[in-house]
Amino acid sequence: MAASAQTRHESGRASPWFTPEHELLRDQVRRFVDEEIKPNGDRWEEEGCVPRDVLRRMGQLGFFGIRYPEEYGGSGMDVLATVVLAEELGRSTYSGAAITALVHTDMASVHVWNAGTKAQRDRWMPGIVSGSVITAVAITEPEAGSDVKSIRTTARREGDSFVLNGTKLFITNGVHADLYCVAAKTDLSGPASRGVTMFLVENGTPGFRVGRALDKHGWRSSDTAELVFEDCRVPAEAVLGGEGRGFYAIMQNFQNERVVLGAMAMGEAQAAIDLTLDWVRTRKAFGATLWDKQAIRQKLAMLAAKVEAGRQLVFATAWRVGQGEDATREVSMVKAYCGELVNEVMYACVQFHGGMGFMRGSAIERMARDARVQAIGGGATEVMLEEVAKRL
């Protein structure tokens, strides 16, 4: 990036990644976090979801259209803009609220934009951007997670319709979404990679129902569901991206999705360090503050260095993705490294908070629970490391 486009990093140094427009977005998201999420997050945790009026507010502020064109109400920004959004929502300390928004912006609605016909885009994109239509992506099943080829939900052709049967599990936004991007097998005899098709299924379609809302260890303000399809009939026009192209669409978006999750994780980690620095500088033990203990401040210093390294890996990888490169190796590194690092950070921060870090109602306790899934969801660490190993 040209030097003239550089803005200031939080440390005061120039950033090679972000423009003034990115920093304006960062400021706007931080204000929203301070004014909307932090004062209400505890209530949303109890309710198990983010209220729809809040999501509409995010749409009105432009957060849901960052990467989409102006013709649909978006601002047409780049991958780094999404990184800004994800990092700042991660810093909110309410990761359930963060993932609710990010699944909509970067894991579900992208399928409509990337693969949708003009008619599908014209119908759905304005509502997606405004927040009046919330999306979910339904891929994971009881026996198929990262192994997308192993999904068992089927869609058989009957005239000008497809009939879906199967069950999806761990679907974020699954309870309250308006539109679902659903992966199903349309060809059971050919290669698995060419047998998956994506479908648009509206909430309320006969034969489709929420089986149950799931009770999670963390991300309590994110609604998560089991979805059931029992002879769910959708028109042929609901096919998204062409029959047999679903596996490739899912793989394509993994690059974007995993960068976003990495950015969110680094936002979470930085917020945990900030909270813990405030705590150890005031908490006293044996006649001095915890900050005066060399072991504690050196541990926090090393964690801060690792988080900065993780952030820079996210930024550089997002830039490569934005250039249209195949960055599967780097994206997999982001997901593995950041998912593990945020848990390392949380473990230490809970430890330094002592008994208070183990109490429900403390931010660091909630954050530690929320962070655990970062090494699981969106591609488990072990799966990501195998992707890296293939490319060494």
Rounded (5°) CA angle 151-153-156: 125
Identify whether 308 is a catalytic site residue: no
Residues making up the chain, counted from first to last: 392
Cβ distance 139 to 166 under 8 Å? no
Cα–Cα distance, 222 to 68 (Å, whole number): 24
User: Which residues 6+ apart lie within 8 Å of 306 measured at CB?
Assistant: 341, 344, 345
Residue type, 282: T
> Reduced to 3 states, what is the DSSP secondary structure of residue 145?
coil
Cα–Cα distance, 223 to 96 (Å, whole number): 8
- Burial label, 90 (beta-carbon count in 10 A; 0-12, 13-18, 19+): buried
DSSP strand pairing (288-289 vs 284-285):
antiparallel
Catalytic entry in 257, 330, 365, 387? 257
User: Which residues 6+ apart lie within 8 Å of 151 measured at CB?
Assistant: 139, 141, 144, 166, 183, 184, 185, 196
Cβ distance 279 to 271 under 8 Å? no
User: Which residues 6+ apart lie within 8 Å of 243 measured at CB?
Assistant: 186, 197
User: How close are the terminal C-alpha atoms of the chain, in Å?
Assistant: 28
DSSP structural state of residue 242: S
Cα–Cα distance, 354 to 371 (Å, whole number): 18
> Reduced to 3 states, what is the DSSP secondary structure of residue 93?
coil
For 2-28, b/e burial (b = at least 16 CB within 10 A) is: eeeebbeeeeeeebbbbbebbeebbeb
Cα–Cα distance, 164 to 167 (Å, whole number): 10
Neighbours of 160 (CB within 10 A): 8
The catalytic residue positions are 257
